[in-house]
Copies of this chain bind each other. A is one copy, B any other.
Amino acid sequence: MERDQAEELRALQDTLYFIGGKWRVPVINSLCNGNRRFREIERSIPGITTRMLSKELKDMEMNKLVTRMVYNDTPVLVEYEPTPYCRTFGKIIQEMINWGRDHRKKVIQKQ
């Protein structure tokens, strides 16, 4: 049986669309690494602005990648919990980390 290139391309493009911008994957990664609070996530991703993180988390909440939990202690405590669905990105992210690592090695080697 022949592989359906069109179907594969669709699946691929769905994933790329879902990943979207510059910050989605790093945010997922941060959550999967155990970071939960807003400033904690922010600090774990150098370069991201509050605005972008805020947008990203809202978007991810709508897409059921993250659950926003508010605890009414004083001061109020907010935690972002990655959903099981969020964690299904794990393999892709791991492959990306591996590739990036090898790439860096290769670049250093060349110099």
Mark A residues whose CB is within 8 Å of B: 3, 5, 8-16, 18, 22, 25-26, 29-30, 33, 44-45, 88-89, 91-93, 95-104
Contacts and interface: CB of A to CB of B under 8 A. Distances in A.
B33 A13 contact: no
B5 A96 contact: no
A96 B33 contact: no
Contacts of A33: 3, 5, 8
Contacts of A10: 100, 104
20 contacts: A5-B44, A8-B97, A9-B29, A9-B44, A10-B100, A10-B104, A11-B100, A11-B101, A11-B103, A12-B26, A12-B93, A13-B100, A14-B100, A15-B96, A15-B99, A15-B100, A18-B100, A91-B98, A92-B96, A92-B99
A92 B98 CA distance: 10
A53 B97 CA distance: 27
A100 B89 CA distance: 10
Nearest to A8: B97
A47 B25 CA distance: 25
